[in-house]
Structure 1
Amino acid sequence: MKKYVVKGKNIDEILEKISSHFNIPKDKVNYDILKENEKEVELKVWIVDNEDIKYSEILIKPDGIFLKVLKTDEDVKLLEKYVILEVQKKEIKDFDLGKIKFATLNQGQFVKIAEHDKDYYIDAEVHIEILSPLEATIEIVAPKRGNMPEYTHILELIKQKGIIFGIRKNAIKTILENKIFEKRVVLAKGRAPIQGKNARLLFHYDRDKKLKVDKNNNVDFKNLNWIKNVKKDDIIVEKLSMIPGKDGINIFGKPLPTKAVKDIKLPKGKNTYISKDGMKLCASIDGQIIEEQNKISVMPILTINGDIDYSTGNIEFIGTVLIKGNVLTGFTVKASEDIIVEGLVEDAILEAERDVIVQKGIVANEEGEGNIKVGRDLRAKYIQNMKVKCFGKVIIDDYILLSDIEAKEEIEVISGKGRIIGGKVKSQKGITANIVGGKFETHTYLEIGVFSEIYQKEKEFDKKLLELEAKKDRLEFRKKEFMQKSPVVRAALKTKEKEIRIQLKELKKEYNKLLKNKENLIQEYSDLGNAKVQVLQTLNPGVLIKLGKHIYLNKEQKLHTVLSIDRETGELVIE
């Protein structure tokens, strides 16, 4: 709004000048007095915006365009001018000036000033879109010289769509009042159902069987996480009650029921009981938690508070054996589950169908009878002069020294010093260590992909193939003998010759089948996939490494070395 500073003798004189200059009535001039004395007045003046003043009302109907001039004390000629400006602003075409003059003289009455043209006067369009049973939107396309939709008309359109719930009436009013066009606005929202919660079980023990690792990646064998011990009356599992849901309703007024919540039973197994309130499963004895067939039982653990020696004799137990002391030379411990040794294992025999965990180390005699057979994983601080056959992983902290280790899964020696020095270390899945070999070129042999059971089958195939070859050679020799005999003799022994031919044919068939089986077996351990030898720190000279058919003798010290087989070329890759 532009403002002017004007001087004059008095206020009336200044307003008269402004009115005459801009051809507007004096009441359209606002002012502030800046200075006033007997000789002169100084005003800051500005013109009232005509857009803020409404002089007429225009109705666009199918039967014509109607004008009503609002009652005012304005000068008739000036009023007529303002009304014409408003009509022009509305883009009314072919209006009758005489009718406008008539309407100006007859204020408050609607007068038809023009004909309606449906192609020229286009009303606003209302688009209601149902996005989902829970939500609908409204969008108004701006009119072109036509009418805005009425609030009641929009409500009728909503009703026609079948929407009866969650209508946002205030949003509709805001759109109309602020003339919000070409913008989708949420018109109605249903109430989504709130699903309830099924009853669930809260376990009061750690179900994760991973060993705890500290910030230095050292396994904490003092706090084993493999055995879940409980005392009598300890809570094992607690049931959390089910929580019913809350039904919803869509914008069409249709109820949206929630799914029925389900209860759950406490998994009561052996040596457990359910509390009086029915919400807790407790241990009825001291022992180990066992999860089997969706039930939880408490099974006793055989605990040896000292060494395995002459005071205990050999141990054979259905369950887990926990040894607080050492396993001395010459003794045997067998368990259908785990063997846990808190001390040392000397030149002894250990057999476990599950895991063997030795908190300290395993030290056998160089020419001793020490042997460990593990159905799953073996974990220990170190191993020396021991024979190990493991159907799972072998995970050692400090070192493997002069031992014969065989694992079907990975062998890892990385948590502590992580050294493999001397002996034979075999794995079907991969070997990882910090340091391999000794400073003085200690002969150390690593091998990938030759788990002994597969190797044993291969030997059995070879033995059988040799037997078949010998038998085939004998039959071939007899056949040759027959061919060298006279026709008379051959005719007399024709049946015998036929038998030899049949036997030879069957023998070749069996031989080829056996040979194919051997090839498949070789392929099984030759296809190493992702198996590799990883030396995270130092690979010393004197280390012999075999990956499938590839043999590599390391002759110089290397750092951060990985040996693998290229899957495409089948060649040995050393990185």
Structure 2
Amino acid sequence: MTQQTVLEQCLSIVLSDDKSTAYLEFSKQEESFACTPDELEKYLASQGIKYGVLREALLVFVSHPEMYVKDRYKIAEGIKPVPGTDGFIKVLVGMDDSNERRPLEAEDGKVDYKEVTRLNNVRTGQIIAERIPPVDGMVGRAVTGEEIPFRPGREARFKVGKNVVVNPDGSAMYAALDGLVTKTDGNKLNVFPVYEINGDVDYNTGNIDFVGTVVIRGNVLTGFKVKAAGDIRVVGGVEGAELEAGGSVEITGGIIGYNKGLIQAGHNVKCTFIQEGNVDAAENVLVSQSIMHSTIRAGQAVICEGTKGLIVGGSIQAGENVSARVVGNTMSTVTSIEVGVLPKLRNELSDLRKEVREQMDALDKTKKALTLLDQLAAAGQLSPDKMSMRIKLSATQKSALRLSEETKTRIFEIEKVLEDTSRARVDIHKMIYGGSRIVIGRYTKFIKDPISRISFYYHDGDITMVPFV
């Protein structure tokens, strides 16, 4: 019996499922079993083992075969395949975890504890995610010599939520509107045009800056800022905070401003009451109960016609009309109502008039200095330094005169606008008290005694009063 036959009778080869490993085991026990490494290697080849034979393992086996009578012994090892890497969706907009909000630290090391929320704002058409394709793996090699295929990586698929679009080749996802990138159930990517805060705007939320509409189900505390390209809706009240909306601001409660902060709106501001507030609306300010000791500016109208409909103290400016039930009080609190011109123009006019006064004072001083220098020149006592000063003052005077003329021209333009007060009107539904002041265009009327149910408008060069109907 040949040695090869003995090996075939006593030994057998067991392969792993993927044929990447070969094991040697005894199929028949012989106490006198012995072989050389070369004989064992030939036997392996006869059994189809062509790759990855472990030469050192052969030496160990033939030296002490009795040790492996009951065990499998690894005798050859191929190369396992490397599986491909799965594709994935790479989100290009930071997905902040609300539980990991941290105050903003400036370059100089200062920490702003009101800047803790950084929203994932996106604009229409902005790419928000891209699909990364899978990467191929590496083929393996079996101990029998053939290749072992690798498991290919799986393609990733976008989980499409609301207000997002995927390009035709499925490689990128884009925002379909301005808003906030949010993941919902199943890791769907969405863009929502509304950002909701369920609670107060305080140190927990920090300042808010959003490209859509902001809904706050709580109060906005003093010192905090909320900015929105759309509307701002507050289901609560606003203290001395800054609210800036490209659309409208609606507050179910009221505004207690403590003479701090500012409410600005590209359209309307609507609330229950305003106390010591500062409000600026491009269109209308709509208040149901009262406006007290506040500064209000509206491009069109200020309406306070609710159950109280009270305006007391402060300054109310409207481009067209102011309507209220009661203006002022029995204590003759100074209350200013101005209509007939855009508040910004009226404020600009006030600033320009102040500039003209300052310019005239400066011109007067320059003129006096030039007169003195002219007298010195006539007497032949003008030194080189004084001569240089005289030249500079002459140039300054010409420049100041030109600037003064430009300022006066602008004042004249605004005054012409002020004269167009055809739609300007103040309606008092119940009572206006002494201490109030009505300004329509360029004209002012001071109220000394209480007047009930009255309307004010401009007619024939003066402010006219007619019964309110």
What TM-score comes out, normalization by structure 2 length? 0.52
State the secondary structure of the residue aligned to 2:254.
strand
State the secondary structure of the residue aligned to 2:445.
strand
State the secondary structure of the residue aligned to 2:252.
strand
Measure the CA separation in 2 of the matches of 1:411 and 1:390.
9
Task: Determine which of 553, 556, 562 is the counterpart of 2:449.
Answer: 556
Matched-pair contact (CA < 8 Å) for 1:564–1:573:
yes
Amino acid at match of 1:427: A
- Residue 335 (str. 1) matches residue 228 (str. 2): yes
Matched-pair contact (CA < 8 Å) for 2:163–2:191:
yes
> Measured at CA, do residues 520 and 341 of structure 1 come closer, stay the same or move farther in structure 2, by a change above 3 Å?
same
> Measured at CA, do residues 307 and 475 of structure 1 come closer, stay the same or move farther in structure 2, by a change above 3 Å?
same
Structure 2 partner of 1:207: none
Measure the CA separation in 2 of the matches of 1:381 and 1:397.
5
Structure 2 counterparts to residues 139-218 of structure 1, below 5 A: none
State the secondary structure of the residue aligned to 2:253.
strand
Measure the CA separation in 2 of the matches of 1:405 and 1:518.
23
> Measured at CA, do residues 541 and 487 of structure 1 come closer, stay the same or move farther in structure 2, by a change above 3 Å?
closer
- Residue 271 (str. 1) matches residue 159 (str. 2): no
Structure 2 partner of 1:208: none
Structure 1 partner of 2:206: 313
Structure 1 partner of 2:351: 459
Structure 2 counterparts to residues 33-432 of structure 1, below 5 A: 271=163, 299-365=192-258, 368-432=259-323
> Measured at CA, do residues 468 and 305 of structure 1 come closer, stay the same or move farther in structure 2, by a change above 3 Å?
same
Amino acid at match of 1:558: I
Which structure exhibits the higher relative contact order, with contacts defined as CA atoms closer than 8 Å and separated by 6 or more residues?
Answer: 2
Amino acid at match of 2:198: N
Measure the CA separation in 2 of the matches of 1:380 and 1:506.
49
- Residue 543 (str. 1) matches residue 415 (str. 2): no
Cα deviation per residue 1:159-218 (whole Å; 9 max; x = unaligned)? Answer: xxxxxxxxxxxxxxxxxxxxxxxxxxxxxxxxxxxxxxxxxxxxxxxxxxxxxxxxxxxx
Measure the CA separation in 1 of the matches of 2:396 and 2:223.
53
Measure the CA separation in 2 of the matches of 1:506 and 1:349.
40
Alpha-carbon RMSD: 3.8
The alpha carbon displacement at 1:485 in A equals 4.2
Amino acid at match of 2:292: L
Matched-pair contact (CA < 8 Å) for 1:458–1:521:
no
Matched-pair contact (CA < 8 Å) for 2:370–2:394:
no
> Measured at CA, do residues 519 and 272 of structure 1 come closer, stay the same or move farther in structure 2, by a change above 3 Å?
same
Amino acid at match of 2:255: I
Measure the CA separation in 2 of the matches of 1:545 and 1:438.
15
Matched-pair contact (CA < 8 Å) for 2:210–2:228:
yes
State the secondary structure of the residue aligned to 2:218.
coil
> Measured at CA, do residues 469 and 413 of structure 1 come closer, stay the same or move farther in structure 2, by a change above 3 Å?
same
State the secondary structure of the residue aligned to 1:360.
coil
Measure the CA separation in 1 of the matches of 2:399 and 2:442.
33
> Measured at CA, do residues 539 and 317 of structure 1 come closer, stay the same or move farther in structure 2, by a change above 3 Å?
same
Measure the CA separation in 2 of the matches of 1:431 and 1:303.
33
Measure the CA separation in 2 of the matches of 1:370 and 1:416.
27
The alpha carbon displacement at 1:510 in A equals 3.9
Amino acid at match of 2:308: K
Structure with higher Rg: it is: 1
Measure the CA separation in 2 of the matches of 1:517 and 1:467.
15
Measure the CA separation in 1 of the matches of 2:177 and 2:412.
55
Measure the CA separation in 1 of the matches of 2:398 and 2:335.
48
Q: Sequence identity of aligned pairs in percent?
A: 27
Measure the CA separation in 1 of the matches of 2:244 and 2:420.
30
Cα deviation per residue 1:227-271 (whole Å; 9 max; x = unaligned)? Answer: xxxxxxxxxxxxxxxxxxxxxxxxxxxxxxxxxxxxxxxxxxx92
What TM-score comes out, normalization by structure 1 length? 0.43
> Measured at CA, do residues 507 and 301 of structure 1 come closer, stay the same or move farther in structure 2, by a change above 3 Å?
closer
- Unmatched 5+ stretches in structure 1: 1-269, 275-282, 289-296
> Measured at CA, do residues 443 and 517 of structure 1 come closer, stay the same or move farther in structure 2, by a change above 3 Å?
closer
> Measured at CA, do residues 324 and 519 of structure 1 come closer, stay the same or move farther in structure 2, by a change above 3 Å?
same
The alpha carbon displacement at 1:303 in A equals 0.5
> Measured at CA, do residues 503 and 437 of structure 1 come closer, stay the same or move farther in structure 2, by a change above 3 Å?
closer
The alpha carbon displacement at 1:317 in A equals 1.8
Measure the CA separation in 2 of the matches of 1:481 and 1:284.
71
The alpha carbon displacement at 1:362 in A equals 1.9
Amino acid at match of 1:376: H
Measure the CA separation in 1 of the matches of 2:393 and 2:225.
54
The alpha carbon displacement at 1:331 in A equals 2.6
The alpha carbon displacement at 1:412 in A equals 0.8
The alpha carbon displacement at 1:364 in A equals 3.4
Structure 2 partner of 1:574: 465
Amino acid at match of 2:370: R
Matched-pair contact (CA < 8 Å) for 1:420–1:437:
yes
Cα deviation per residue 1:531-575 (whole Å; 9 max; x = unaligned)? Answer: 111112222333222223433232333232111111xx3211111
Amino acid at match of 1:374: A
> Measured at CA, do residues 550 and 510 of structure 1 come closer, stay the same or move farther in structure 2, by a change above 3 Å?
closer
> Measured at CA, do residues 464 and 299 of structure 1 come closer, stay the same or move farther in structure 2, by a change above 3 Å?
farther
Matched-pair contact (CA < 8 Å) for 2:178–2:211:
no
Structure 1 partner of 2:336: 445
> Measured at CA, do residues 443 and 485 of structure 1 come closer, stay the same or move farther in structure 2, by a change above 3 Å?
closer
The alpha carbon displacement at 1:378 in A equals 0.3
The alpha carbon displacement at 1:521 in A equals 2.6
> Measured at CA, do residues 284 and 572 of structure 1 come closer, stay the same or move farther in structure 2, by a change above 3 Å?
closer
Structure 1 partner of 2:414: 521
Measure the CA separation in 1 of the matches of 2:204 and 2:233.
19
Measure the CA separation in 2 of the matches of 1:335 and 1:284.
18
